[in-house]
């Protein structure tokens, strides 16, 4: 992959309409969406099939694992960064989320300008980080 290629993003969001809207917005912004899934298991499957550089991850998702658990697992297995989609969260959840070193938070409802700003910053951070496989 070269730097010129668009950032590959996996969307993990169980509200399918919201997920599709995100996919369209990210497409309009020039990013490549590797998958739209709604659970941790599906996210793992999608990452195995086509690794993403960034996961856009809702904290409340389908299945036994919440978004933070999924982030912990995926970040152990893959070289991937996280941006959380949050409504509000309690302090404990925020602390747990913070331990996974996310590159940003997006608050719902998500506006394209906000999405552009947060994902843009995350993309810049990812581009500036040396990759372990090169």
Partner 1 sequence: MSDEDSVALPNDEQFRYAMEAAPTGMIMIDRQGHIVLVNGQVERIFGYGRAELIGQPVEKLVPERFRHAHAGFRSSFFVSPQTRLMGGGRDLFGLRRDGTEVPIEIGLNPLHMDGADFVLSSVADITERKRNEREREELFVELQHLNAELEHRVEARTAELSATLREREVLLQEVHHRVKNNLQVISSLIAMQARRIDDGSGRTALEECQTRVQAIALIHEQLCRAKDYARIRFVEYAKTLVRNVFRAAGVSGNVVELDLQVDDAALTVEKAIPCGLILNELVTNALKHAFPDGRRGKLVVLFERRSDGRLRLMVSDDGVGLPKDFDARTCPSLGVHLVRTLAEQLEGELSVTSDSGTCFELIFLERASA
Per rule CB under 8 A, is residue 93 in the interface with partner 1? no
- Could you tell me the smallest distance in angstroms from the CB atom of residue 24 to partner 1? 6
Per rule CB under 8 A, is residue 45 in the interface with partner 1? no
Q: Where are the beta strands (DSSP E) in the chain?
A: 8-12, 32-37, 54-58, 81-86, 104-107
Considering only 4-12, 17-25, 38-46, 125-133, which stretch makes contact with partner 1 by CB under 8 A?
A: 17-25
Is the separation of the CB atoms in 72 and 94 below 8 Å? no
- Could you tell me the smallest distance in angstroms from the CB atom of residue 89 to partner 1? 9
Is the separation of the CB atoms in 70 and 82 below 8 Å? no
**Separation between Cα atoms, residue 91 and residue 79, nearest integer Å:** 27
The nearer residue to partner 1, 44 or 112, going by C-beta atoms, is 112
**Separation between Cα atoms, residue 76 and residue 92, nearest integer Å:** 22
Binding site for partner 1 (CB under 8 A): 15, 17-18, 20-22, 24-25, 28, 60, 87-88, 107-114, 117
């Amino acid at each position: 992959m070269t730097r010129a290629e668009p950032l590959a993003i996996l969307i993990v969001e169980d509200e399918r309409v919201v997920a599709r809207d995100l996919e369209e917005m990210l497409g309009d912004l020039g990013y490549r969406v590797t998958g739209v899934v709604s659970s941790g298991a599906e996210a793992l499957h999608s990452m195995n099939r086509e690794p993403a550089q960034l996961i856009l991850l809702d904290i409340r998702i389908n299945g036994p694992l919440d978004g933070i658990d999924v982030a912990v697992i995926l970040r152990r297995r893959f070289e991937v960064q996280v941006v959380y989609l949050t409504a509000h969260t309690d302090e404990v959840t925020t602390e747990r989320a913070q331990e996974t070193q996310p590159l940003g938070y997006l608050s719902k409802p998500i506006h394209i300008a906000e999405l552009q700003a947060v994902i843009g910053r995350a993309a810049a951070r990812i581009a500036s980080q040396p990759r372990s496989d090169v």
